Each structure stands twice: as structure tokens, then as C-alpha cells.
Amino acid sequence: VKTEQLVQVLVADRARAGRSPGRLLTIALLAGGAISLGLFFATLGPRQDLVPALSTWRFDLKVALILVALGVTFALCRALGRPVLLPHPGRYLLSLAVLAAIAVAIELAVAPMDTWGRRLVGSNSLICLTAVPAFSLAPLVAVLVMLRSAAPSSPALAGAAAGLVAGSAGALLYAFHCFDDSPLFVVTWYGLALALVTTVGWLVGRRVLSW
């Protein structure tokens, strides 16, 4: 093959490659999220006091925290989907840990000490631990399918990142049903549910994303 021909072949491949990884990840999340949204409305549905809840700082803080988690984990998943080794992927999650710690500190400063236990346990913890992974399933499958067309440098880490971003999407949906808005509850139980989905993503990613 002559150099000019090789260049032409490379250019043709590039044209076929088309969409960027970020765009593909967005499409995967939207597709999986749409299925989960249907599941959400078919099963739990939004809480009845959604509009009054929007006027409370705890609900707003919960949704804002999950939206930031979705954005941060999206960036992490996109970075880990590349064939280049990502130095210090934990840096992405550090920002989330800082925000979660600030939210918990605010709650501990504002809420009376004798209510901390009740706020931590809440009334929806078991539903949270089942609903968040359930709503994460379709986005997780969609993101893993998308990542199979990429070439992640670490299949296990990319799978875990897929679990994180899918778990955040599932948590965002569930947040509109859940009426436990305390940061103590959100950080503990949503965090546990997210860890569960991340572990599943890590285990599955290790198998299906290797190349």
C-alpha cells in the first residue's frame, strides 16, 4: 500500500467513525434512561408533593447533588472509555465526596441532634436500595454496549464508571419519588445503591469490555 492510499483509507475510516464518544455516551444514557423513565412511571411514579418539595432546600440539594454526580461520572466514564490510561481517575470522585461532606455537615449543623438517627434511617431505605439499581439497569446495559464499541484501557474501571453513571441516572429518577430528603439519608443509602451498581458494572465490564 502506498502512503497516499494508506492516508485515504485512514481518512475514510475516520469519516465512518463519525460520532464522538461523548455523543455516543449521551445517546446510550438517553436510550437507557427512557426505558427507566417508563419503568419509573409504571411502578413508583413521582411523589405527590413534588411542587411543594421543590420549595424546600433539602430536596433541591438532593437533586442538585445527584445532577452533579451524573455530570462528574459522565466525564469519568467518557475518559475511561478511551484506550489511553487515565492518571488518577479518583480525582473525579473526590469532588463528589467533598460536596457530599459539605451537604452532611450542613444537615448536622441545622438539624437537632436527637433527629439525626431518624433522618439517617429514613423510611424508604429498602425501596431505595432496590429501586435505584432497578432504574439503573437499562442505562447500564446501554452504556456497556456503547463502551464495547470503544477500546477502554482498563475494562474493569470502565465498567465501574459505567455503573457509576448508570447508578446516578437511576438515582436521579428515584429522587423524584423518594421523600427522604435529608443529606444523611441521601449520602448513605443512595451511596450504597450506587456502590452496588458500580460493583455490578465493574464485574460485567471486566468480562465484556476486554479486547
Partner 1 sequence: VKRVQTSFATIAVATSAFLVLLGLLIAIGALLGR
Q: Measured from the CB of residue 102, what is the shortest distance to partner 1 in angstroms?
A: 8
Shorter beta-carbon distance to partner 1: residue 72 or 138: 72
Q: Measured from the CB of residue 56, what is the shortest distance to partner 1 in angstroms?
A: 7
| Cα(159)–Cα(200) distance, integer angstroms | 8
- What is the contact surface with partner 1 in residues (CB under 8 A)? 51-52, 54-57, 59-61, 63-65, 67-68, 71-72, 88, 91-92, 94-96, 98-99
Shorter beta-carbon distance to partner 1: residue 17 or 64: 64
Cell numbers representing residue 191 in the block: 451511596
| Cα(136)–Cα(198) distance, integer angstroms | 10
Cα–Cα distances (Å) from 157 to 64, 78, 81, in that order, read: 26, 11, 9
Residues 6+ apart with CB under 8 A from 182: 58, 107, 111, 119, 120, 122
Q: Measured from the CB of residue 80, what is the shortest distance to partner 1 in angstroms?
A: 15
Shorter beta-carbon distance to partner 1: residue 38 or 71: 71
Shorter beta-carbon distance to partner 1: residue 25 or 134: 25
